[in-house]
Structure 1
């Protein structure tokens, strides 16, 4: 009897460690991505950069993310997910130390670039692991895993702004110290990752479709477009909402960070509660409805002015399930090639993210310069135009999801 119970206990323990790696990993990912909101105005002031330079900085960091995505699947096949996860967490800790010591803009940019490489490696590793272990109720489990990203993203702006108002030994914590403290937390998930055993790396090559075969699939390219526009709309909020509210409506940092936290509260609750709905009504139909809702909320927020700012937060309900639901589509459509498909799709998405972040900065700065006679009105219109592009990306995401729905339905492969 004891010989039968012990293996089951070991399997359950390992699965618990895998879940801990995924869930805590997404918590750290949420922190590293979204503490930048309250820090960006201070970074701008410290280094004297304008909105276009800020957009360039964020797009270059997305390039680091893209670079990591391009080689992470290769490293995973060579070294295994365990080693790659430990490298990703360790890279974020190191980047926090480098950011702390960055007194020049060039060193800061390089340190931030390293952080995004760690983020890219981590996201691919977690996505591959999720695709392998969430074989049942895939939509629910993918959304639950990504809920922890939303959860940490909800509190990240508050913690970041709170830390930067704390005085220790007569010294107010600056954005550099805040990054050091928050990124040092990446040490925590290294423990369950180290003690876990990760299966799936032993899948033989003959059971995998080659990349050349995958890229001939029209559905794959539609998934690329859905994820690209969805992620630009999702990720841009963390970088631009606080900046928008502070400069367009003259909100203080606490109030603006609070609205960002409400966005991520809606975001995290959507991932917690809507996963079973995506399993029930279908992944592609869910993508159409949810991304369309997000785009409409963003348009309402911009058109209605300051009194409609709450719609910026409500947009999080629609955009939150897009990424995990796309990961569920990949896991179901490409079960044996999930690592290759995820790497290719997320890499292409990274290119879209680089372009998207850059365009937001260009649009904002271009419209602002058009109103040179009235600098304050120009800043307002520029910020509105840049943020309108974020809403447009969500609407395009809904349209491409509709195209995927029609494509899969015609082939009898609707998910």
Structure 2
């Protein structure tokens, strides 16, 4: 933490509740139009993000690709996402979130269209990188837009924002499964989703954005390495990066390995195991709706600590308890749900300058955790068995609790 920040008076209430200054007065109609547009962007994010997985098996059969090639194509999306989370934050601070969301719609449109028409590995990989770039732009600028519109209740609205990602993710298996079971090609499944991405661009082109929420001259002054170094690499921010990386590792670790764990360790059928996977994501969506009502009252960091602690207990019961209690694994999603958006809310409050750039760095840390967390579970499972490998999720929860506790200590100094 830099000396200028340490010289400020203590801020004990910051980890209790939102302390942002009163927002500039905007016409309610404009606020809700832009809020709805932001929610729609995250719906598309969740829809497109999960479309690739829902069609992968059909694509592999159609093109005679191996699992390794399929996994590499999916990696293209994560690569694009990681690059975009770093670049989009800088650009959004310069030109405003609205223009980056317009760009996101264009990137996803181009990527989806190219992916649907490609047949070679490298063209599919490249198209998925472009899709990932669009999704990364939505992650950064969608959050940034909601923070600008609702600075006094950002925790509530960021939880609602991510709820729409969950709605999109839940609809994809129904949409893709219905079309694929009806004999429709995976290419057409992508093509039929193209209007959503085009609509995203149109929504933000047509929605007026007042100057009050556009990029300020200070933000638009360019990329200041010295300022970003002071703001983005403080001791406090390092702990934030640690917390969100291990949280994303835990969430995606469950998403990637719960089916295998339930089948191998608890004797579930494939249908039952995939049903529990759907229940996990359903719990996340419900939890974010409920969380939007309570995080402002409980306080941001207190909410994160409580959620991580409750999630840890659920994971331990589900993994090491009898098969009748394994339902606690998907139930943990109810508590996991608020961690990511609530950490985002805290980081945006303590970094009022260059907010989008800092959020981009935060989301990049989350992306790294999402890549390494499930990978580590696989490595440990190969050596010690799926039960102990899957138990790394509990370790990740402990590390989230520890990192969040260290963040609290920085506010008390």
Matches within 5 A, 1:246-325: 251-252=269-270, 255-304=272-321, 307-325=324-342
Contact 1:63 1:350 in 2 (8 A): no
Q: For 1:56 and 1:37, how far apart are their aligned partners in 2?
A: 12
Q: Report the TM-score when normalising by structure 1.
A: 0.80
CA deviation profile, 1:180-222 (whole Å, cap 9, x unmatched): 3345422233232112215230242599991121135211111
Q: Supply the distance in 2 between the matched residues of 1:19 and 1:195 (Cα, whole angstroms).
A: 14
Give the corresponding residue for 1:185: 196
Q: Which residue of 1 aligns with 2:40?
A: 24
- Return the alpha-carbon distance in structure 2 between the equivalents of residues 175 and 363 of structure 1: 34
Deviation string, structure 1 residues 87-113 (Cα, Å, up to 9, x no partner): 112222222222223333333332222
CA contact (8 A) 2:377 2:389 kept: yes
Give the TM-score normalised by the residue count of structure 2.
0.81
CA drift of 1:246 comes to 6.8
What's the CA shift for 1:64?
Answer: 1.9
Please give the root-mean-square deviation of Cα atoms over the aligned residues, in Å.
3.2
Q: Which residue of the other structure, out of 78, 82, 92, is the alignment partner of 1:76?
A: 92
**Residue 369 of structure 2 corresponds to residue 403 of structure 1:** no
Q: What is the distance in 2 between the residues matched to 1:355 and 1:58?
A: 15
2:345 is aligned with 1:328 = yes
Give the Cα separation in 2 of the matches to 1:308 and 1:143.
28
Deviation at 1:160, TM superposition (A): 3.1
Counterpart among 146, 149, 157 of residue 162 in structure 2 = 146
Task: For residue 36 of structure 1, report the CA deviation from its aligned partner.
Answer: 4.4
| 8 Å contact kept, 2:116–2:190 | yes
Whole-Å separation in 2 of the counterparts to 1:137 and 1:393: 28
Contact 1:360 1:389 in 2 (8 A): yes
Partner of 1:222: 239
The verdict on how the C-alpha distance between 1:176 and 1:356 changes in structure 2, with shifts beyond 3 A counting, is farther
Residue in structure 1 matching 2:146, options 114, 127, 130: 130
1:333-372 matches, cutoff 5 A = 333-364=350-381, 366-367=382-383
2:221 is the counterpart of 1:204: no
TM superposition shift of 1:346: 1.8
Tell me which residue corresponds to 2:12: none
| Counterpart for residue 110 of structure 1 | 126
> Aligned runs of 1:142-181 on 2, under 5 Å?
142-165=158-181, 167=182, 172-181=183-192
Determine the C-alpha separation between the residues in 2 that align with 1:205 and 1:95: 30
Counterpart CA distance in 1 for 2:375 and 2:268 is 24
The one-character-per-residue Cα deviations of 1:34-83 (angstroms, maximum 9, x if unpaired) are: 34454455556665545x77666555532221111111123224443222
Contact kept? 1:163, 1:178, Cα under 8 Å: yes
2:78 pairs, out of 53, 57, 62, with 62
Higher mean Cα deviation, 180-189 or 137-146? Answer: 180-189
Q: Could you list the runs of 5+ residues in structure 1 that have no partner in the other structure? A: 1-8, 371-380
Inter-CA distance 297–157: structure 2 relative to 1 (3 Å threshold): farther
**Counterpart Cα distance in 2 of 1:218 and 1:283:** 19
Deviation at 1:302, TM superposition (A): 3.1
Task: Look up the SS of the partner of 1:135 in the other structure.
Answer: coil
Q: 1:398 to 1:48 in 2, by over 3 A?
A: farther
